Chains A and B, each alone.
Chain A
Amino acid sequence: MRHELCPHPLLGNPDNLALLGEDWLHGRYCTEIASPDLMRALFGPSSASACTARSRVFYKSRQMQTRQKLPLGIHDRAEEYIFANGIIPEEDLPAIQRHLPFRVCVLRCKTLRVGVNEVFDLSAHAEWWPGLHFREELYVYVHINELIVEPGAELVVFGNVLVFCCDEVRLDKPEGYSARDTGTKDTGTKDIGTKDTGTKDTGTDVQLSIRGTRHYAFSNSRRVDAYDGLHGIDGRACLPPPQAEIVPSIFGPIIDNDGNRPSNSGRAEDGGDGGDGSIGTNGGMAMLADIRLGKLTHFQRKGFRIFGKAGDGNRGGHGGNGGNGGNGPIPGRGGHGGNGGNGGNGGLASNIFIQVPQTDQHLIDAETAPSAGGQGGTGGRKGQAGQALEQADNEDKDQNTDTLQADDGLRGQDGKTGKSRAGAEIYFIT
Chain B
Amino acid sequence: MKYQDILDIVGLNSHEKQITATVKITSVEDFRVLFSGGLTDTQRTNFAKHIPSTAGQENKIYNLDFLEQIVSHVYANTELRSAEAQKFVDEAFPIEIDVLTGENVTISSDMLIGPGARPYLINADTLTIDGGSLTVTSTALTIRANKLVFTQNQKSAKSYHIGILGQTGMNGSKGPDGMPYDSPAQAGSSASAPTPGICSGASNGDGGLAGSSGAEGGSGQYGKDGLANLPANISIAALDESAEGFVIFTQSGMGGDGGDGGTGGSGQIGGHGGQGCNSGCEGTDGGNGGAGGNGGVGGNGGNGGSGADGNPIVITFPTAGKGKLNVISMDAKPGTGGRKGVGGSGGRGGFAGSGGKHKSGGASGSQGKFGADGKAGPIGQHDGSPGNVTYHFT
Indicate if B183 sits at the interface (CB-CB under 8 A). Answer: yes
Bound together, the chains give a CA A254 to CA B180 distance in angstroms of 42
Residues of chain B contacted by A71 (CB below 8 angstroms): 197, 279-281
Indicate if A198 sits at the interface (CB-CB under 8 A). Answer: no
A residues 63-98 touching B (CB-CB < 8 Å): 71, 74, 95, 98
Bound together, the chains give a CA A19 to CA B117 distance in angstroms of 109
Shortest Cβ distance from B266 into chain A, in angstroms? 11
Interface contacts beyond A248-B138, A251-B95: sample of 4 additional A-B pairs, CB < 8 Å, sorted by A: A95-B282, A230-B269, A232-B182, A254-B64
Bound together, the chains give a CA A420 to CA B95 distance in angstroms of 84
Indicate if A136 sits at the interface (CB-CB under 8 A). Answer: yes
Residues of chain B contacted by A135 (CB below 8 angstroms): 357-358
Residues of chain B contacted by A136 (CB below 8 angstroms): 358
* 0/1 string, B187-231, CB within 8 A of A gives 1: 000000000010000000000000000000000000000010011
Residues of chain A contacted by B231 (CB below 8 angstroms): 250
B116 touching A248 by the CB < 8 A rule?
Answer: yes
Of the candidates A218, A220, A251, the one having the most CB atoms from chain B within 10 angstroms of its own CB is: A251
Indicate if A233 sits at the interface (CB-CB under 8 A). Answer: yes
Stretch at the interface among B42-50, B67-75, B152-160: B67-75
Q: Which of B35, B180, B278 contacts A233 (CB 8 A)?
A: B180
User: Nearest 5 CB-CB pairs, A to B?
Assistant: A248-B116, A256-B62, A248-B138, A252-B118, A223-B354
Residues of chain B contacted by A253 (CB below 8 angstroms): 116-118
A258 touching B351 by the CB < 8 A rule?
Answer: no
A245 touching B62 by the CB < 8 A rule?
Answer: yes
B275 touching A95 by the CB < 8 A rule?
Answer: no
B183 touching A252 by the CB < 8 A rule?
Answer: no
Bound together, the chains give a CA A249 to CA B359 distance in angstroms of 79
Indicate if B140 sits at the interface (CB-CB under 8 A). Answer: yes
- Which residue on chain B has the smallest CB distance to residue A247? B62
B182 touching A252 by the CB < 8 A rule?
Answer: no
A residues 253-277 touching B (CB-CB < 8 Å): 253-254, 256-259, 272, 275
Shortest Cβ distance from A173 into chain B, in angstroms? 47
Q: Which of A95, A133, A248 contacts B114 (CB 8 A)?
A: A248
Asked if A249 meets B61 with Cβ closer than 8 Å, knowing A95-B280, A275-B183, the reply is no
Bound together, the chains give a CA A245 to CA B167 distance in angstroms of 15
Q: Which of B115, B180, B230, B357 contacts A250 (CB 8 A)?
A: B230
B281 touching A95 by the CB < 8 A rule?
Answer: yes
Q: Which of A99, A236, A247, A254 contacts B92 (CB 8 A)?
A: A254
Shortest Cβ distance from B24 into chain A, in angstroms? 12
Indicate if B240 sits at the interface (CB-CB under 8 A). Answer: no
Bound together, the chains give a CA A74 to CA B64 distance in angstroms of 90
Residues of chain A contacted by B139 (CB below 8 angstroms): 248
- Which residue on chain B has the smallest CB distance to residue A260? B63
Of the candidates B67, B231, B358, the one having the most CB atoms from chain A within 10 angstroms of its own CB is: B358
Residues of chain B contacted by A227 (CB below 8 angstroms): 351
Shortest Cβ distance from B317 into chain A, in angstroms? 22
Q: Can you offer 26 A-B residue contacts whose CB atoms are under 8 A?
A: A98-B282, A99-B281, A133-B358, A133-B359, A135-B358, A218-B278, A218-B357, A223-B275, A223-B278, A227-B351, A230-B182, A236-B179, A245-B61, A245-B62, A247-B116, A247-B227, A248-B114, A248-B116, A248-B167, A249-B67, A250-B140, A251-B140, A252-B97, A256-B63, A258-B62, A272-B182
- Which residue on chain A has the smallest CB distance to residue B166? A248
Bound together, the chains give a CA A35 to CA B217 distance in angstroms of 65
Residues of chain B contacted by A230 (CB below 8 angstroms): 182-184, 269
- Which residue on chain A has the smallest CB distance to residue B115? A248
Residues of A at the B interface (CB closer than 8 Å) are 71, 74, 95, 98-99, 133, 135-136, 218, 220, 223-224, 227, 230, 232-233, 236, 245-254, 256-259, 272, 275
Q: Which of A133, A224, A248, A250 contacts B227 (CB 8 A)?
A: A248
Bound together, the chains give a CA A218 to CA B280 distance in angstroms of 11
A224 touching B351 by the CB < 8 A rule?
Answer: yes
Bound together, the chains give a CA A220 to CA B70 distance in angstroms of 83
- Which residue on chain A has the smallest CB distance to residue B114? A248
Bound together, the chains give a CA A275 to CA B115 distance in angstroms of 51
Residues of chain B contacted by A275 (CB below 8 angstroms): 183
Of the candidates A74, A249, A254, the one having the most CB atoms from chain B within 10 angstroms of its own CB is: A249
Bound together, the chains give a CA A224 to CA B359 distance in angstroms of 14
Q: Which of B35, B179, B278, B359 contacts A220 (CB 8 A)?
A: B278
- Which residue on chain B has the smallest CB distance to residue A259? B63
B residues 86-125 touching A (CB-CB < 8 Å): 92, 95-97, 114-119
Indicate if B131 sits at the interface (CB-CB under 8 A). Answer: no
Indicate if B176 sits at the interface (CB-CB under 8 A). Answer: yes
Residues of chain B contacted by A236 (CB below 8 angstroms): 176, 179
Indicate if B31 sits at the interface (CB-CB under 8 A). Answer: yes
B281 touching A74 by the CB < 8 A rule?
Answer: yes
Q: Which of A248, A252, A258 contacts B96 (CB 8 A)?
A: A252
Residues of chain B contacted by A99 (CB below 8 angstroms): 281
Shortest Cβ distance from B294 into chain A, in angstroms? 19
Asked if A233 meets B179 with Cβ closer than 8 Å, knowing A99-B281, A250-B71, A256-B63, the reply is yes
A257 touching B63 by the CB < 8 A rule?
Answer: yes
Bound together, the chains give a CA A224 to CA B281 distance in angstroms of 18
Residues of chain A contacted by B95 (CB below 8 angstroms): 251-252
Bound together, the chains give a CA A256 to CA B67 distance in angstroms of 12
- Which residue on chain B has the smallest CB distance to residue A70? B280
Residues of chain B contacted by A254 (CB below 8 angstroms): 64, 92
Residues of chain A contacted by B140 (CB below 8 angstroms): 250-252
Residues of chain A contacted by B96 (CB below 8 angstroms): 252
- Which residue on chain A has the smallest CB distance to residue B193? A220
A257 touching B180 by the CB < 8 A rule?
Answer: no
- Which residue on chain B has the smallest CB distance to residue A98? B281
- Which residue on chain A has the smallest CB distance to residue B184? A230
Residues of chain B contacted by A74 (CB below 8 angstroms): 280-281
Bound together, the chains give a CA A247 to CA B116 distance in angstroms of 6
Bound together, the chains give a CA A73 to CA B236 distance in angstroms of 110
Bound together, the chains give a CA A41 to CA B316 distance in angstroms of 124
Bound together, the chains give a CA A272 to CA B179 distance in angstroms of 12
Bound together, the chains give a CA A222 to CA B116 distance in angstroms of 68
- Which residue on chain B has the smallest CB distance to residue A250? B140
Residues of chain A contacted by B74 (CB below 8 angstroms): 250
Residues of chain B contacted by A259 (CB below 8 angstroms): 63
Shortest Cβ distance from A117 into chain B, in angstroms? 38
- Which residue on chain A has the smallest CB distance to residue B89? A251
Q: Which of B63, B70, B180, B282 contacts A258 (CB 8 A)?
A: B63
Bound together, the chains give a CA A99 to CA B281 distance in angstroms of 9
Bound together, the chains give a CA A237 to CA B179 distance in angstroms of 13
Residues of chain B contacted by A257 (CB below 8 angstroms): 62-64
* 0/1 string, B270-286, CB within 8 A of A gives 1: 00000100111110000
* 0/1 string, B354-367, CB within 8 A of A gives 1: 10011100000000
